[in-house]
A = this chain, B = another copy of it.
Amino acid sequence: MSSRKIVIVGYGNLGQGVHAAIEKNRDMELSGIISRDPDRVRQTLAARQLTVKTVLDANQKIDFSEQLPAEVAILCGGSKSDLTEQGPKFARHYNVVDSFDTHDRIPDYFQQMDKVGKRQKKLALISAGWDPGIFSVERVQAAAFFPESEIYSFWGPGVSQGHSDAVRQIPGVQDARQYTIPLEAALTAIRQGKNPDFEPGEKHFRKVYVVADEKANREEISRQIKTMPDYFEPYQTEVIFITQKELEEEHHEMSHGGTVLCTGKTGAAKINTEYSCNWGSNPGATGSILVAYARAVHRLARRGETGARTVLDICAADISPLSRRELRESFV
C-alpha cells in the first residue's frame, strides 16, 4: 500500500495534533507544512526531532501543490478568520479537510467550498472534528432511528477559547481560562426519560479562573463577567482569582469532551442512547479525527467525487484503514 501524502496548513495546537496522528497511521505520510510563521514551525519540529520537506509562507499567492504534492491538505486554522479565507484558497489546489465549527455559518461555507471544489475538480470535507463531526453523526443517526425522540448535546468539562478570550477583554484582567461544565442534574433528568426543555443556563455552568492586575477591583471584574450578555449572563458562573503561575501550572491542559443523548419511545417502550467522549487533549483528538476523514476524502476523490461534503456524507468504511472485506470479517 503506497501511503497517502498529507499537507498540514497551520501548525498551532491542532496542526501539531494532526501531525501526531499522521505518525500513528501507517497509510499516511506528512508531505509538508504550510505556515505563516515558518521559523516557529522549524523550532517546534527541531525540538521534536521531526523532519518535513518544506515550510512555506501561507500568504504567498502561489500554488503550493507542485512543491508540496499531497493527496489531501488538512486545514488547521481557526474558523473565525483563517478558514473562511484559506478554505476556498487551498481547495483550488488540494483536496481538503477542515474543522470549520461556526455552526450558523456552515451552510454558507459549504456552498462556497462546493463551488470551488466543483470548478477545480477537488473534494472538500468541511466541519470534521467532534462537534461538528462525531456529534453531528450521532445526532443524525439517533434522529433517523427514533423519530419523535429528543436529542441533547452537552459540552465539557473543557476550556472554551471564545469565553476565555471574552474575559481577557475586561479591564484589569491579565489572563483567564473558562471551563464549560455540564450540570449533572440536567443529564440525570434526561437519563430518567423526563424529556426536559432547557433554557441555556440549565444545561451547563461556567467556571472562570482569572489572573487580575494587582490593583484591579476584583468585585468589579467578577460583576462584569457574570453580567456579560450571552456569554455568561444566562449561566451560573463561578469566578476564581488565581496567580499567573497557578494558571500556567494547573490550567495548561487542553482537555475537553461532551455527550450526545437521545431519549424516546418505540411503541410503549422507552429507549435511550448516549455517546460520550473524554479527550485528554482536544487538539490531539480533533487532529486524529481529521486524519481519518482525510483518508475518506482521498478515497472519494479517487472515485471522481468533487465539491463539498460533510461528515454526514461519509460512511464508516471509508474512514477506516482496513478494507471492506477485513471490516466485515472482524468489525461488523
Q: Which residues of A contact B (CB under 8 A)?
A: 17, 20-21, 24-25, 103, 106-107, 110, 127, 132, 134, 136-141, 143-148, 255, 265-281, 284-285, 287-289, 292, 295, 310-317, 319-321, 324-325, 327-329, 331-332
Contacts and interface: CB of A to CB of B under 8 A. Distances in A.
- For the complex of A and B, list the 7 residue pairs with the smallest distance between their C-beta atoms, beginning with the closest: A269-B280, A266-B284, A269-B281, A312-B317, A270-B280, A140-B316, A144-B319
26 contacts: A20-B266, A24-B147, A106-B329, A107-B329, A136-B331, A140-B317, A140-B331, A141-B316, A143-B331, A144-B316, A144-B320, A145-B292, A266-B284, A266-B288, A267-B281, A268-B281, A272-B277, A272-B278, A310-B317, A312-B315, A312-B317, A312-B324, A312-B331, A313-B315, A313-B317, A315-B315
A110 B325 CA distance: 10
Given A275-B273, A277-B273, A287-B266, A332 B127 contact: yes
A279 B281 CA distance: 33
Given A138-B275, A255-B269, A312-B320, 15 more contacts: A17-B266, A134-B141, A136-B332, A139-B331, A140-B317, A145-B289, A145-B292, A265-B280, A269-B285, A273-B276, A273-B277, A310-B327, A310-B328, A310-B332, A315-B315
A267 B20 contact: yes
Most chain-B Cβ atoms within 10 A of its Cβ — which of A106, A295, A316, A320? A316
A132 B310 CA distance: 25
Contacts of A141: 134, 137, 316, 319
A158 to B, nearest CB: 12
Contact of A327 (B140, B287, B321, B325): B140
A126 B281 CA distance: 37
Contacts of A138: 275
B313 A106 contact: no
Nearest to A319: B144
Max chain B CB contacts within 10 Å: which of A140, A273, A331? A331
A275 B278 contact: no
A85 to B, nearest CB: 21
A332 B132 contact: yes
Contacts of A140: 316-317, 319-320, 327, 331
A327 B287 CA distance: 24
A72 to B, nearest CB: 15
A314 B272 CA distance: 22
Contacts of A21: 266
A278 B284 contact: no
A271 B292 contact: no
Given A287-B266, A315-B313, A106 B275 contact: no
B271 A106 contact: no
Given A20-B266, A266-B288, A281-B266, A314 B315 contact: yes
